[in-house]
Structure 1
Amino acid sequence: MPIVDPRTGEPLSSPQVSPQEASTQPAADAAPLRAEDVIIELDASNIQQVLEASMQVPVLLDCWAPWCEPCKTLMPILEKLAIEYNGAFLLAKLDVEANPEISSQLGVRSVPDVKLVSQGGLVDSFQGALPEKQIREWLARYFPAPEDVPPSPEDQAAEALAAGDAATAREIYQQLVVQYPEHYAYQVALARALVAGGLTEDARSLLDNLPPEEREAPAARGVRASIAFGEQALSHAEIDAMQGRDDSEAQFQRALRQVADGDYEAGLESLLTLMKQDRGYNDDAARKMLLQVFDALGADHPLTVTYRRKLFTMMY
């Protein structure tokens, strides 16, 4: 069924499906649509047509206000996604200040407020200026992801960090922190990049300024652990100098370095192996370090759960 432009009543060029059908039907091959084909300004003159259009193609309703700074961050992302999804949904932008009656009818209480409407009814919604990656994940519940999507900033930062380019990761996360100051996961990720770049005091200061509940969350605790373990661990050069050694001291120091670098699974596995081989090493140092890592990660962390079980099995 073709999309009908709610402004003109004319069919658009790309046949689409509803959210309920999108997960089971492949995306249709179609020429790219223009911004004006998939993005409209919603007001009293066309709201009825938009609701009628939602019977044929889902409508993503972006409720915003001119004075709302988060709205200004969110809107360009939604516009980009609307074009990228090439007609899988229409993006209708509602200025709630200019259209208070419509806003009230839609139950908008704060902005930004994004609603997915299909078949004339509300399917789902989210509030606040979510980061692009989270919006993509939200859309993925209802629409097949478009092809050839460029890596998200989060993915680019993670790849840079994994490649040892802490400076690039730090720059990306700093931009994300500015864009989304209340998305504290970015501040924790920035702290991790700072630690990777040797800027541990900056990382500690950043973590100290998080809200209390975020400071004590597993992700932040993990970065603090990296800082603490990094202060205890030998440098990478010193670890490299141990190449060829397989005694208990060398194994312990390698494990500590892995934990300090944030490679917790490898570090925990190395510590558990050392316990099996030499339980008495340095007054049971491997077991004590395992417990410190568990405490740092938090009791509910998947690695804590897994390796507590392995530790219990080995000991009893």
Structure 2
Amino acid sequence: MSPFAFDISLEEFEAKVLLPAETVPVLVDFWAPWCEPCKVLKPLLEKLAEEYAGRFLLAKVNADENQELAQHFGVRSIPSVKVLFQGQLVDEFNGALPENQLRAFIDRVALPAGPATASPREQAAALAAEGQPEAALAILAEASRQAPNDEAIRLDAAELLIGLGRNDEAQQLLAAEYAQESARAAALRARLALAAGSADTAPLEAKLAANPDDHATRLELARAYAAQNRFREALEAALEVVRRDRFFDEGAGRKALLQLFEALAGEQYDDLVREYRRKLSAALN
């Protein structure tokens, strides 16, 4: 199945259309098997979805099987294409457009093209930095299909999935062997283990405020901060346990810091890890 074009039902609409549409335009194509113009438009849309490689997504809805969706969008004839983006219906058309008109329509609603010289990983990184992780994942999925042995592409996708809280999907990617990228894969596995903890910090912060010497709660809070990608706060909480009682629970504070150092291995967090390695050394001496 293409990462850029997929069939959906009513039950999948929120997960596969509404959520991705927060960051990338989604063209919703209402069609039916008996509709002759649909047989012209649908394959053309699918071809362009692949060509545009994540600048828009194509969600295909069988109007006969999903009449509630068709009624919700006021579909009176098919094919009918609705464009959703950032919670809004931003454009639409009915009927089968010729390819030149369809390209012009898509160019108007799709995300801007990245630099022609940018690699798929660079394009995905730029989209992620712009707050468009779903579009970035779509580009990485297609790049991985084209280069299935490129471990860096798969790990980029795993890192994005962890950031989105899609831990089961990240786990599937990280279950593979990574001979060339073993250190980064180990770091992401460690980060995934941290992300599996509770991310609700408010009750823990309140409990710790009532008893600042509750070292177990402070370590639990460090794990919760890590699950929210608040890594500096996680490191500081674990370090505070070392400062207050380095021997608590057989050195649990130091062990928590070492786990965080492993999870943050890589260029992005090098400065932060170096800073807290120095602070740990000072606390222990």
TM range (shorter): 0.3 to 0.5
Q: TM-score, normalized by length of structure 1?
A: 0.43
Q: Which has the higher helix share?
A: 2
Structure of greater relative contact order (alpha carbons < 8 Å, 6+ residues apart): 2
